[in-house]
A and B are shown apart, each in its own frame.
Chain A
Amino acid sequence: AQTVTQSQPEMSVQEAETVTLSCTYDTSESDYYLFWYKQPPSRQMILVIRQEAYKQQNATENRFSVNFQKAAKSFSLKISDSQLGDAAMYFCAYRSVNQGGKLIFGQGTELSVKP
C-alpha cells in the first residue's frame, strides 16, 4: 500500500522569504501523480500544484515549485516570496494511475507567515 509522510507538523517563514515543505512517499508503482493542496484557515482546500511521475521536469506555478526526486521518492514544495495569504495547512497527496481518483494524503504541515 502507498503511504505519504510529511515530517514537519509546523513551519514558519518570514514574509518575502522562501520556505520548503517536505514530503516523502512510498510506492512500488512507476507511474503516478503527486499533488500539493492548500487549506487556509476556515476555507476550502484548493490544489496548489501537481506533478506527473513520468515527467522529469519539476512543476512550477508562479511562486510555487516542486523538487521531485523520483528515485528518492521525495516531493518537496518551495514557496518563494512568501505572502501572508500563504499561511495555511499544506497537504501532500499521492494518486495511483490505476486506482481511479483516490488520493492518499500526508499528515499535513501548518505554515505560518510572519510579517
Chain B
Amino acid sequence: DVKVTQSSRYLVKRTGEKVFLECVQDMDHENMFWYRQDPGLGLRLIYFSYDVKMKEKGDIPEGYSVSREKKERFSLILESASTNQTSMYLCASSSNLRRSQETQYFGPGTRLLVL
C-alpha cells in the first residue's frame, strides 16, 4: 500500500514563527502536492512538484514556499506564520504511470493553529 506520512498531526505556533511541514511518500511517486482544507472551501492547492527541485504554484501560494530536495520528501514552509494560516494541511502524492488512472494518495493531515 502507498503510504504518505506527515511529520505532525497537530501543531501550535506563534505569529511570526517559521513553520516547516514535512511530507514523505514511500512509493517513488513523481508528483507531490500540498493542499489546505478549510470548512466550506474544500481543498485548495498551495504548491505542487513534478520532480526533484521542481515546484509550481497552485491556487493559493501566497505566504508559503516549498522544497523538494529528494524525490520522497516535499516540505511546506510558512516563512512567517499568520493567524489566517490556521488550517488543516494535506499532502498528497501520485505517479505518472498510466496517467489516465492517476490517483492521488493523501497523508493524514496536519492541523496547524497559529496564535
Binding site for B on A (CB under 8 A): 4, 6, 9, 33, 37, 43-47, 50, 52, 91, 95, 100-108
Contact = CB atoms under 8 A, between A and B. Distances in A.
A107 B39 CA distance: 8
Contact count band on B: 20 to 34
A107 B41 contact: yes
Contacts of B26: none
A107 B42 CA distance: 4
A101 B33 contact: yes
B84 interface: no
Contact of B48 (A4, A91, A95, A101): A101
Interface string B83-115: 000000010101000001111101111000000
B31 A101 contact: yes
A9 to B, nearest CB: 7
